[in-house]
Structure 1
Amino acid sequence: MSAFSALKPKKVLFIATRQIGDVLVTTPLISQARELWPDAEFHFLGYRGKLEMLKGNPDIAQIIETSDRPKLGEYLTLFFKLFQRYDLAVVTQPSDRAYFYGLAAAHHRVGVLGGHPQGLTEQDKAKKSKSDQQNAWKKTISLHTVDVDYFAQHVITEKLRLLEIFYKNPLELFKKPISVTAPAGDPIIPSIASQLHSPYVVVHPGPLTAYKRWPLAYWQTLLTWITKQGWQVVLSASPAKQDLQLNQDILSLLDEETRKHVLDTAGQLTIPQAGTLIRGAIAYVGVDTSITHLAAACNSPTIALFGPTPPTNFGPWPNGFVGEQPYRLRARSQTVGNVTILQGPGECVPCRKAGCEDRASSNSECLDQLDPNQVIQALQSAIKK
């Protein structure tokens, strides 16, 4: 633990150079920083196209976008735009690039360091030793760093702990309700709004990677059951080709009567419009992906299907939770607040690998064995509650 710092920054830059969900999980950190420094000006640096989760965030005065693969000219432009403009950079990702941005932008830094779980193999220990060497310079340039723990520490807690150096009693950070700030909603486009029929359930089947997928036939079972309750199904998906195709594959399995009660919005909604859609739903069901975190942040009853990912690290945060860890590492079903996390069977769950073959295109047996009846029961309970 670093020594207490009395720094009172006037300008702060938050850096999250990763995916949409990684941006959303910084919002409790930003809210807490606003309580610490009510008069400071906050800016946010992230990748172009990944920052819609911050729409309407009352604490952010300026959003700065950069490419995820900038060429030299863009690097130089960004360097001169950022150079020493800030009193503090809050580096929320462990990448070298994020730290270089923080070094260029601010007089002081706090940051997240890449970590390794407990119980390491010899191979893991060798990787950790190399990682520690790579992290040494990041520690040297930072007032305070927080190690990632992919199994025991929730990502929201990890981000909040970046502020613990500014508290004489860091435990104060976790003694009041912690919430994720969802983006401000935008009106749903008329072509979709005109087809919505309440009550409806939003279903988001598509993850970023194949190893987080749930089998097609299980979606067929779930969607058929939902429509038989007299509820509409609204299918959600990103504009990515594989997500559009996944939704089409699911629709192709449905009988004609079920299909009449399913509205496919794939690729047609922005993140703020998706938030509006989810807020109007009686429940949401989705895989381990950013839109599931958005659903939880919108305070909708949220059913999250988890495979290899530890919920203790990246389970959707239940808004208003008090404490550092809402979840258990392994439980077939666990409900905290508005969020229910379901996991498949197996002693290896969660492994944090990229599926059973540890590659992005792999399947995950734990998801293959997550029975649709378990999801139906969880959905029933969430809606009754």
Structure 2
Amino acid sequence: MTTYSKIKPKKVLFIATRQIGDVLVTTPLISKARELWPKAEFHFLGYRGKLEMLHGNPDITEVIETSDRPGFSEYLSLFNRLFQRYDLAVVTQPSDRAYLYGLVAAFRRVGVLGGHPQGKDSADKHKRSKSEKQNAWKKFICMHTVDVDYFNQHVITEKLRLLETFFKNPADLFSKQISVTPPVGEPLTPIIASELKQPYVVIHPGPLTAYKRWPLAYWQELITWLVNQGFQIVLSASPAKQDVQLNHDIMSLLAQEIKDKVINAAGKLSIPQAGTLIRSAALYIGVDTSITHLAAACNTPTITLFGATPPTNFGPWPNGFIGEQPYQLRARTQTVGNVTILQGPGECVPCRKAGCLDNADSYSECLDLLEPKQVIEAVQKALAN
């Protein structure tokens, strides 16, 4: 690997054109780049409505928003704004569009390349060959690239490796504590603040896709147990219709005396406000979603339920971890730092498919078989520590 340790860019553009969680996991990369280039100016390009995780980030001078489906006039305006304005573009997503933005914006580029399918049969070889052809132009325009590995390489390690070409010794990237930077908190809304009582547990049951859901009856059993242990519950959710409905469905199953100890905060908190709420919680419990990564970044004891997704790739990073890989691929329960990851049974776990039917609306048997008893045992251990 060629090293470019003498390069000192004055202006750097980070590009993450995906979801909220994908933005948050770039923050260790940004922090490490700041160590490399303390005097450089850092800008960040992402989708409108997905950048709240950068609120108050001390290393970012300017945030540039774009639509996830821009029209011709918006493309033209953005290209004019970006054109050769930067010394380096750091492309943290493998999409063609992200690379196009990097090509327009900077003289030099580093980038993440799409993963190659696992397996050795003819279909996998064909897919791998096709992927390599699609990546050829991206490699050509970059001074350094990093391949995605959805099973063995953590996403934060993947992002950090974009900087390895700028180190004389790339191992130095992982020799110090690595942390995710959460957004600066904002005051809670008066209604939520007035109802809040210590100690409380934040529960976030709603993932982006159905195949990451845990059964409703399991949430009912867990919440009932927590309330009987003396905890108030804050049930959080995004403003998305399906998440608001999910919280409503859970609330409808609770006995009245339990429901009285539950605050349904669905759609009532911004990301920075969610950070404020989570920081003061005794515990956070959630599924595989961006708010779970936020909870871990806030240093709150975090329990997360994983199904199809490999924790080795996208498990919430335990702040202060030193090294490249915090997690095992498969373990019913594993705790690293403030994060506990729970997985259901099965040799197929994790499959990295979209549930058992491999579509967004699928069920996941591994989550259906992850019983409340396993979560309650993890809660007891987390609270004891």
TM-score (norm: length of structure 2): 0.99
Contact 1:116 1:150 in 2 (8 A): no
Distance in 2 between residues matched to 1:291 and 1:254, nearest whole Å = 24
The question of 1:364 aligning with 2:364 is answered yes
Deviation track 1:63-118 (CA, whole Å, cap 9, x = no partner) reads 00000000000000000000000000000000000000000000000000001254
Match of 1:383 in 2: 383
Distance in 2 between residues matched to 1:335 and 1:2, nearest whole Å = 37
Shift of 1:125: 1.8
Match of 1:61 in 2: 61
Distance in 2 between residues matched to 1:333 and 1:374, nearest whole Å = 8
Equivalent AA in structure 2 for residue 199 of structure 1 = P
The question of 1:221 aligning with 2:221 is answered yes
Alignment of 1:244-259 (within 5 A): 244-259=244-259
Equivalent AA in structure 2 for residue 209 of structure 1 = T
Shift of 1:384: 1.3
Alignment of 1:79-90 (within 5 A): 79-90=79-90
Distance in 2 between residues matched to 1:118 and 1:157, nearest whole Å = 20
Distance in 2 between residues matched to 1:121 and 1:279, nearest whole Å = 48
Match of 1:102 in 2: 102
Alignment of 1:1-385 (within 5 A): 1-385=1-385
State the aligned residue count. Answer: 385
Shift of 1:120: 4.1
Equivalent AA in structure 1 for residue 143 of structure 2 = L
Contact 2:34 2:59 in 1 (8 A): yes
Contact 1:117 1:149 in 2 (8 A): no
Shift of 1:127: 1.1
SS of 2:196's equivalent in the other structure is: coil
Equivalent AA in structure 1 for residue 90 of structure 2 = V
Equivalent AA in structure 1 for residue 13 of structure 2 = L
Shift of 1:198: 0.5
SS of 1:194's equivalent in the other structure is: helix
Relative to structure 1, the CA distance from residue 5 to residue 140 in structure 2 (aligned partners, 3 Å threshold; closer, same or farther) is farther
Distance in 1 between residues matched to 2:4 and 2:324, nearest whole Å = 20
Contact 1:28 1:160 in 2 (8 A): yes
Distance in 2 between residues matched to 1:122 and 1:371, nearest whole Å = 39
Q: CA RMSD in A?
A: 0.8
Contact 1:185 1:273 in 2 (8 A): yes
Distance in 1 between residues matched to 2:137 and 2:256, nearest whole Å = 61
Higher alpha-carbon deviation: 119-128 or 351-360: 119-128
Shift of 1:128: 1.2
Contact 1:251 1:259 in 2 (8 A): yes
User: Any unmatched runs of 5+ in structure 2?
Assistant: none
User: Any unmatched runs of 5+ in structure 1?
Assistant: none
Deviation track 1:182-229 (CA, whole Å, cap 9, x = no partner) reads 000000000110000100000000000000000000000000000000
Contact 1:117 1:151 in 2 (8 A): no
Distance in 2 between residues matched to 1:324 and 1:372, nearest whole Å = 31
Shift of 1:4: 3.7
